[in-house]
Structure 1
Amino acid sequence: MLTAAAAVVPSTAPAGAATGTPPQVYGAWHCGNDACTWATVRDMTDFDHANHWLIDRGDGRPSVNLVVLSFVNPLTLLNGTTNSGNADGVPVGMNQGVVNYFTSHGIRVMLSIGGITYTDDWNTALAQNPTLLGQRAAALASRLGVGIEIDYEQSSGPNTAGLQAFIDAYRAAHPYDASGADPTARLTIDVAAGDRWLIDLDQYASAHWLTTSGPVLDYANAMVPSKQPTAAGAESNWQEHLTGKANYSPAIPPLAPAKFTGSLYIAEGSQVRPECTDFPSSVTNGTSAWTQSAAPAGAGTSPGLLGYMFWAAERPATRGVTTVPPNSCEGGVGAGATSFNIPIPMPALRQS
């Protein structure tokens, strides 16, 4: 159990806190203790020791308002596979006990389908039966009371027709819900840090699924780049989504600030990032003024990105740092939640 002394609250608010639009989404991808496979059922006492910082920033309040359990293999889900690590197509560690651990503290939970390791399996599943895959994702969401994130990292020639069929099937079961009241209706997608990777997927998603006039997906996450960016580098990446790429063929249209989050590392390689331990010196704090005031550049009407996502809680890789004590993140993510006054539970999200 962590104590209040573990919390580090900055003495000054981030530069943009007085103006602009504060973050509404403030979440962490979660990889479990086995590098994102979730292949074992967790002892919940051990789970709490490793992850207590997520539900308690040191003063009893959660550090985040969203946790995304990563990853479900799309082909395993389609086939309903049961083996040593999966039950009916779902990692055995992604169970109701883990979901309830977070939701009982007002934290929204989603499951991420995919990840770069499962790109080929996404391609196979979408080629075989994307409608059934969408139906099984919707049934999984209903069973656990969670939302679903699409993490399909096919860099060239993605099967957008198959993904459209997957989304149509999911939305037939769980229609878009602007109020956010139904957790199973939350359906999101991951795109690259900027517009220069996952280009075809980014173009299609921005044009067809992420518009403010007829939204199909709730929002996108601009994923982390290959290494932690500087504040200026992060802002440059995120600006590409706001501006779009008119010179591409087909063009990538602008994305409304209210339709995506920016992402940063909390655990990367062998380094404990300030994102985890030292909010005042973090890239999160360094980008906060820009993130809250970023103006629409052709789409949307309100300024400010939707919020931040952090990669990744507990053990994102077989080697390297974790967010397990003594590296838990009350002083970074948790202190940021205090500084930004993050709403918990997550409110209805801006729509334009």
Structure 2
Amino acid sequence: MPHKKLVAHVLGICTALFLLFIHVPLSKASSHVGAATSTPISVYGAWQCSNDGCLWGTVRSVTEFDSKNHWLIDRGDGVPSVNLVVLSFVQPLKLLNKTTDAQTTQGLPIGMTADIVNYFKSHNIRVMLSIGGITYVSAWNQALATNPTQLGLNAAAVAQQLGVGIEIDYEESSSPNLTGLQAFIDAYRSMEPYDATGSNPAARLTIDLAAGDRWLIGLTTKATTSWLTTSTPVLDYANAMVPSRQPSSASSAEANWQEHIDGKPQYSPPIPPLAPAKLTGGLYITSANGAVQPECYHFSGSLIDTTGSYVHSVAPNGAGTTSGMLGYMFWAAECPSARGTCTTPPNSCEGGVGVGGQTYTIPVPMPQLRQG
């Protein structure tokens, strides 16, 4: 009889181990993902390029704009697909000089009207304006070399006027003017101090960094060291932008984002780690050549789906105390390129971005952001 008890005991252990195995997803095996901690996503946004390749060079009626972009405010159940829209782009030198020309009024593209801003805000979607982009690197350099303090003051005035936040998209890879950018930030913060509550839209000031730590190195080093700390934050968070093309797998996308969270201690000077709570990850919904991506129209199996566990649960690695990134940003709504397909009917993104927002129970309006 003792041998029967022994057999039963061994079988019990095997059964327990089997049940444990089948209830632990393989994706949780990564050392970067906290198995016991999953934090809700707070930021789930889209860069919005209007209908002319991000120029915003024409005034549009709300009715016409809605006919192209209704999916952003309604994913099919009356709830917005996103909780943030970033109108892209403001030309920095024109903003500094308060230029008025055929496509610009007092430094702001004429298409970025209060009506368009309020179209989103009336549906509890936070709005920001992005200054720069890859097309305007030279304009950033000229503006920062001329009067970065005035540029920061002008940006704050626009933010206050429209009730929006500001995103810094300065993609100078070789020798960024970090002294000038510091002066810009200081001037902006003199008008709109850092607001941890997030209740003041104009106080929201963010920055775009590369997909990982191997491009925009000077900017990333300065931003991570000086502006994105959890102890004395200056900027609210950073967006890890999309790479040159859509990552081929979840692991490829996650590897880029992990570089920010790990930092690069081997660099000189080193890039310190970034708290996951200070980072969003970018994915394409329209590609660089204008093709609509599966992430736009189909959630299941898309990168929004397959990176979800990582984004919810990635653990800090030297900075911050809470697990999980802030969320996702999608490039880009409507027509980011003069060629190719736009995210307009019949190619709108309810089925991908919208279903993702529903699946992950994205809060609308955006909640107060974690500070560490």
TM-score in terms of structure 2 length: 0.90
Which amino acid in 1 is paired with 2:153?
Q
Distance 1:62 1:191 in 2: 26
Equivalent residue, structure 2, for 1:12: none
- Aligned pair count? 338
Q: Greater CA deviation, 107-116 or 267-276? A: 267-276
Q: Is the 8 A contact 2:37 2:323 kept in 1?
A: no
Distance 2:106 2:175 in 1: 30
Is it true that 1:212 corresponds to 2:218 in the alignment?
Answer: no
Equivalent residue, structure 1, for 2:68: 50
Question: Structure 1 residues 67 and 46 mapped into 2: Cα distance closer, same or farther (>3 Å)?
Answer: same
Equivalent residue, structure 2, for 1:111: 129
Q: Secondary structure at the match of 1:190?
A: strand
Equivalent residue, structure 1, for 2:39: 21
Is it true that 1:236 corresponds to 2:255 in the alignment?
Answer: yes
Q: Which has the higher contact order (CA 8 A, sep 6+)?
A: 1
Which amino acid in 2 is paired with 1:290?
Y
Q: Which residue among 119, 138, 159 is the counterpart of 1:141?
A: 159
Is it true that 1:265 corresponds to 2:292 in the alignment?
Answer: no
Q: Is the 8 A contact 2:41 2:362 kept in 1?
A: yes
Which amino acid in 2 is paired with 1:63?
S
Is it true that 1:298 corresponds to 2:354 in the alignment?
Answer: no
Equivalent pairs: percent with the same residue? Answer: 66
Equivalent residue, structure 2, for 1:124: 142
Distance 1:321 1:210 in 2: 36
Distance 2:40 2:218 in 1: 31
Q: How much has 1:270 moved relative to structure 2?
A: 4.7
Q: How much has 1:141 moved relative to structure 2?
A: 0.3
Equivalent residue, structure 1, for 2:22: none
Question: Structure 1 residues 351 and 90 mapped into 2: Cα distance closer, same or farther (>3 Å)?
Answer: same
Distance 1:153 1:332 in 2: 28
Q: Is the 8 A contact 2:290 2:341 kept in 1?
A: yes
Distance 1:293 1:223 in 2: 20
Q: Unaligned stretches of 5+ in structure 2? A: 1-26, 29-34
Larger radius of gyration: 2
Equivalent residue, structure 1, for 2:352: 332
The one-character-per-residue Cα deviations of 1:75-129 (angstroms, maximum 9, x if unpaired) are 0000110000000000000010000000000000000000010000000000000
Is it true that 1:223 corresponds to 2:241 in the alignment?
Answer: yes
Is it true that 1:281 corresponds to 2:294 in the alignment?
Answer: no
Equivalence map 1:306-325=2 (5 Å): 306-325=326-345
Structure 1 ranges of 4+ moved more than 3 A:
15-19
Distance 1:99 1:195 in 2: 33
Distance 1:130 1:168 in 2: 9
Which amino acid in 2 is paired with 1:291?
V
Distance 1:270 1:343 in 2: 29
Q: Which residue among 272, 275, 293 is the counterpart of 1:256?
A: 275
Q: Unaligned stretches of 5+ in structure 1? A: 1-14
